[in-house]
């Protein structure tokens, strides 16, 4: 059977038309600009250990999940996320320079909030200058009202300094009333914005509750030898030890407490007590140790989150701020999709006006502050469980610590 030249011509023209249409479709798909997301946090320096557990893996998890779904759902179709990262080297000045570069050179659409209280406060003006919403997840301060009044795009998720101190005070008070500890507290703090504010807040609160501070000492961030601090605390013969600490010192203070046999009825260290590596390093010795934050690991949502975190990042999530960091990204995602455009002012307003469905339940902001968070957790049989909170369900019963087994 032979084809006439007319039919061949039509087929050729049809094929060309189809090819051109297909090429146009491909060009259209390829032309869809990604949503550029910037991230600045420590990869080196004293806070790198904390950021590489809490901050960076959850950014990786969120970006992978969103892109696997085809990207963020915008009014003009789905758009993939392009992540641009910088190491601030645990230096506020470096952080601010990196944010400026993201805003002016990389021209990112949104920037993920910093890691650490001091960094969130120090960098708030630069985020505000360029109009980026800043969901400060790893930050606690009593200056929230002042800061949110000054910076309309700044949001807080972990509560105030006073709420954290009161969580610890309430537990110690309950233990004293039940005869498990006495009145004497040894308190130490890392000498940065986080530790200084917590210690300053704790002194009058502990005193008003009838506790006596038999030791009260600060130490610089990155102090390599904490044995003098622990020896000084032990010399005070305390009933409880409270450290407003960051990751390196949380590990160091615990190690020295075991070496020096600082045997107290209540032992509390702050950031990183919830890290899986903390449990792996010290094992059953830390059963009964208190720390900042916590989770209810028994909900279906949290179980799914822990499983997906391990699957997509190869790392275990911590038992506190990891989930909060992921929640902040869920909020950002839902706000961007709710607006449907790269409009930072509109996204900021959307965060203020709406309730968000997260792995920690419904989250909303009241005057740019969330009222749902864990304050104190405790290691119990190999799991760090929340034992005190603001408006969270599933708190575990407190367990009595019995020496360094």
**CA 31 – CA 192 distance, rounded (Å):** 46
Claim to verify: residue 288 and residue 343 sit in the same structural domain: no
Residue 336 lies in a domain: yes
Mean pLDDT estimate for the chain: 92
Q: Is the pLDDT of residue 106 over 80?
A: yes
Claim to verify: residue 92 and residue 212 sit in the same structural domain: no
Is 220 in contact with 188 (CB distance < 8 Å)? no
| 348: Cβ contacts below 8 Å, ≥ 6 apart | 131, 133, 152, 153
Claim to verify: residue 87 and residue 141 sit in the same structural domain: yes
Q: How confident is the model at residue 8 (pLDDT cuts 50, 70, 90)?
A: very low
Q: How confident is the model at residue 303 (pLDDT cuts 50, 70, 90)?
A: very high
Claim to verify: residue 272 and residue 304 sit in the same structural domain: no
Residue 257 lies in a domain: yes
Three-state DSSP state, 106? helix
Claim to verify: residue 257 and residue 326 sit in the same structural domain: no
pLDDT of residue 10: 42
Claim to verify: residue 325 and residue 257 sit in the same structural domain: no
HEC per residue, 244-298: ECCHHHHHHHHHHHHHCCCCCCEEEECCCCCCHHHHHHHHHHHCCCEEECCCCCC
Q: How many CA atoms lie within 13 A of 189 on its CB side?
A: 17
pTM of the model: 0.87
Claim to verify: residue 60 and residue 73 sit in the same structural domain: yes
Query: Which residue range forms the structural domain that includes residue 116?
Result: 35-160+298-373
Claim to verify: residue 139 and residue 69 sit in the same structural domain: yes
The pLDDT > 70 percentage for the chain reads 92
The pLDDT > 90 percentage for the chain reads 89
Claim to verify: residue 156 and residue 305 sit in the same structural domain: yes
**CA 262 – CA 285 distance, rounded (Å):** 12
Q: How confident is the model at residue 68 (pLDDT cuts 50, 70, 90)?
A: very high
What is the tens place of the pLDDT at every residue in 240-290?
A: 999 999 999 999 999 999 999 999 999 999 999 999 999 999 999 999 999
pLDDT of residue 222: 87
CATH number at residue 307: 3.40.50.2300
Is 144 in contact with 161 (CB distance < 8 Å)? no
Residue 14 lies in a domain: no
| Alpha-helix residue ranges (DSSP H) falling in 74-179 | 92-101, 117-129, 144-150, 161-177
Residue 26 lies in a domain: no
Residue 400 lies in a domain: no
Residue 396 lies in a domain: no
Claim to verify: residue 184 and residue 137 sit in the same structural domain: no
Residue 118 lies in a domain: yes
Report how many domains make up the chain.
2
Claim to verify: residue 146 and residue 102 sit in the same structural domain: yes
Residue 76 lies in a domain: yes
Claim to verify: residue 259 and residue 275 sit in the same structural domain: yes
Q: Is the pLDDT of residue 402 over 90?
A: no
Measured CA to CA in angstroms, residue 271 lies from 12, 54, 115, 139, 226 at distances of 69, 11, 12, 11, 16
**CA 116 – CA 186 distance, rounded (Å):** 24
What is the tens place of the pLDDT at every residue in 30-65?
A: 447 999 999 999 999 999 999 999 999 999 999 999
Joined tokens for residue 353:
């006006």
What is the tens place of the pLDDT at every residue in 87-98?
A: 999 999 999 999
- How long a stretch of residues is the chain? 405
């Amino acid at each position: 059977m032979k084809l006439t030249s007319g039919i061949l011509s039509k087929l050729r023209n049809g094929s060309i038309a189809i090819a051109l249409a297909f090429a146009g479709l491909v060009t259209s798909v390829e032309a869809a600009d990604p949503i550029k997301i910037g991230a600045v946090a420590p990869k080196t320096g004293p806070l790198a250990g904390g950021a590489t557990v809490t901050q960076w893996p959850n950014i990786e998890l969120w970006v992978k999940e969103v892109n696997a779904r085809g990207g963020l759902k915008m009014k003009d179709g789905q758009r993939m996320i392009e992540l641009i990262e910088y190491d601030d080297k645990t230096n506020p000045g470096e952080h601010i320079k990196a944010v400026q570069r993201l805003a002016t050179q990389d021209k990112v659409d949104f920037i993920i909030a910093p890691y650490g209280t001091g960094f969130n406060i120090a960098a708030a003006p630069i985020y505000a200058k360029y109009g980026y919403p800043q969901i400060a997840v790893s930050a606690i301060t009593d200056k929230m009202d002042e800061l949110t009044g000054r910076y309309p795009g700044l949001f807080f998720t972990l509560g105030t300094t006073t709420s954290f101190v009161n969580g610890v005070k309430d537990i110690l008070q309950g233990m004293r009333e039940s005869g498990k500890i006495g009145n004497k507290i040894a308190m130490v703090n890392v000498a940065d914005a986080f530790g200084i504010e917590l210690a300053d807040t704790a002194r009058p609160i502990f005193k008003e509750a009838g506790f006596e501070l038999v030791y009260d000492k600060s130490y610089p961030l990155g102090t390599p030898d904490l044995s003098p601090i622990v020896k000084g605390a032990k010399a005070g013969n305390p009933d409880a030890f409270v450290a407003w600490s960051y990751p390196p010192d949380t590990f160091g203070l615990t190690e020295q407490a075991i070496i020096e046999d600082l045997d107290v009825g209540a032992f509390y260290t702050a950031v990183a007590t919830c890290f899986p590596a903390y449990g792996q390093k010290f094992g059953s010795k830390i059963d009964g140790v208190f720390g900042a934050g916590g989770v209810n690991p028994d909900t279906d949502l949290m179980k799914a989150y822990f499983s997906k975190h391990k699957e997509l990042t190869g790392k275990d999530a911590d038992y506190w701020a990891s989930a909060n960091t992921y929640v902040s990204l869920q909020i950002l995602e839902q706000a961007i999709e709710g607006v449907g455009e790269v409009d930072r002012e509109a996204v900021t307003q959307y965060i203020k006006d709406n309730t968000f469905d997260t792995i920690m339940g419904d989250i909303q902001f009241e005057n740019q502050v969330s009222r749902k968070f864990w304050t104190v957790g405790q290691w119990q049989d190999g799991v760090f469980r929340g034992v005190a909170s603001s408006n969270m369900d599933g708190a575990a019963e407190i367990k009595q610590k019995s020496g360094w087994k």
